[in-house]
Amino acid sequence: MTKRELCLAAIDAAKKSYAPYSGFNVGAALLCKNGIVYSGCNIENAAFSPTVCAERVAVFKAVSDGNLDFEMIAVVGGKNRNISPVTTPCGVCRQVLSEFCSPEMPILLVKNEIGDFEETNIGALLPSSFTL
């Protein structure tokens, strides 16, 4: 799977976003080293604190399925289903990614509908992260 294809999978995942409160739809696609892609979308809640981000949905789906070796993740977000360049993982998701991803693992930040992206990694987004 190419990086662009993973970005397009994130765009598809964002279509399932449940964000009636913020109107900010986020999708993530996580490629495991075995080739499986786990998608995630943000899921909001009237009580706010149960809300979960797309990145964590994707990571937790993979981990709960027994897959912990990740190749890369793509993230896309935007208000009212329009893609805003670029949406980065929030602080909580950065911490979760740092638990399972190498500092150099590519994090693709989708810029538009055709899957252009900026590339970063957790080492850049969360330096000196809390780890074992």
Task: Choose between 4 and 61: whose C-beta lies nearer to Zn ion.
Answer: 61
Point out the residues that are catalytic.
55
Taking Cα atoms as reference points, which of 86, 110, 96 lies closest to residue 62?
96
Contact in structure between 43 and 51 (CB atoms under 8 Å): yes
CA distance 42 to 57: 7
In angstroms, what is the minimal distance from the CB of 73 to Zn ion? 12
- The residue within the footprint of Zn ion, chosen from 19, 53, 72, 76 (CB under 5 A), is 53
In angstroms, what is the minimal distance from the CB of 26 to Zn ion? 8
Residues 84-103 that bind Zn ion (CB under 5 A): 90, 93
CA distance 69 to 94: 17
CA distance 91 to 112: 23
Could you say whether residue 73 binds Zn ion (CB under 5 A)? no
Residues 8-47 that bind Zn ion (CB under 5 A): none
Residues interacting with Zn ion, by CB under 5 A? 53, 90, 93
